Amino acid sequence: MTDQALITSNCFAEEFIPSPNLFNYNAETDTVIPLNEGRVGLMGVEWNPSGKSALAVGYDVVWHNGFIADYDGTAFSPIEFQNRRVYPVTVAWDDLGEVAAIATATTQLGMGQGTIYLWDGEGLGLIYKNAEFFFSSVAWNREGRNLVALASTATRTFSC
């Protein structure tokens, strides 16, 4: 376990002034420091149980494309996927750190599908999609064998 947590943030402050989009909270020193600045509004992040990297999800606020990336503690390595108007909003690693679930929402009906992907470190695999339900949370059980995803017809990207 680590004594640090990652915190996501929208990438613009008032009147579209660029601001940090990822912060580190250090429990030992009770401090929060900015780690990254860019044009991606981050919505979810989770450390791999190994503590060596984290997955971050969100969207590019200029091009309105979804964003999934591996964060190694200093920089993002984007993960390729079909991302036009698809907004990843949540991510959860299994307890062994072998696979992560990533779920999406949309800004409005008719503009995409709620989807769940699995990331195994090599590629993304689509395991579920639905044009009516959009996700706000995913989690694994303690054994990492069962995935639970919370979805609703009313969930929108910015209400997660």
The answer on pLDDT for 32 being more than 90 is: yes
* pTM score, whole prediction: 0.88
Task: Name the nearest CA neighbour of 134 among 46, 111, 22.
Answer: 111
Q: What is the pLDDT of residue 19?
A: 76
Structure confidence at residue 77 as a pLDDT band (50, 70, 90): very high
pLDDT of residue 142: 83
- Domains observed in the chain: 4-159 (2.130.10.10)
What's the token pair of residue 18?
A: 């660029």
For residue 12, the model assigns a pLDDT of: 64
Q: What pLDDT digit, counting tens, does each position of 100-151 carry?
A: 999 999 877 777 789 999 999 999 999 999 988 989 999 999 887 899 999 8
Of 90 and 10, more confident = 90
Distances (CA, A) of 96 to 39, 45, 144: 32, 17, 7
Q: Report whether pLDDT(89) > 70.
A: yes
Supply the DSSP string of 83-99, one letter for each residue: -BT-EEEEEEE-TTSS-
Q: What average pLDDT score do residues 19-41 get?
A: 89
Give the whole-angstrom CA distance, residue 83 versus residue 60.
10
Can you say how many angstroms the Cα of residue 99 is from the centroid of all Cα atoms in its chain? 14
